[in-house]
Amino acid sequence: MAHAPHLERLVAAFGGQNAMARALGTSQGTVWGWLKGGYVPSRRIPEVIDAAARLNPPVVLTHADFFAAAKAASGAKAA
């Protein structure tokens, strides 16, 4: 798995890969791919933000959260 602790925490907030996939209307394999790759594709970020806001308790995210975390993860890989 890629070094993507931000995504691992987000998936855990949903209750796992299957639960996150159901909330987004996608497959568990898609979520697994995001974890493996270390990022959520930019076109999917708005729906992830919306679904996270509907969690109980809600997870408040912005687009910047995804890009800052991805940049930090890529910097960690290069070191």
Asked if residue 17 lies in contact with residue 29, where contact means CB atoms within 8 angstroms, the answer is no
In sign, the C-alpha dihedral spanning 37, 43, 45, 47 is: negative
The predicted model scores a pTM of 0.82
So what's the architecture of 5-78 in CATH? Orthogonal Bundle (1.10)
pLDDT for 73 equals 60
* Per-domain boundaries in the chain: 5-78
pLDDT for 3 equals 52
Per-residue pLDDT of the chain (79 residues; tens, 9 = 90+): 455 788 999 999 999 999 999 999 999 999 999 999 999 999 999 999 999 999 999 999 999 888 876 666 666 554 4
pLDDT for 78 equals 47
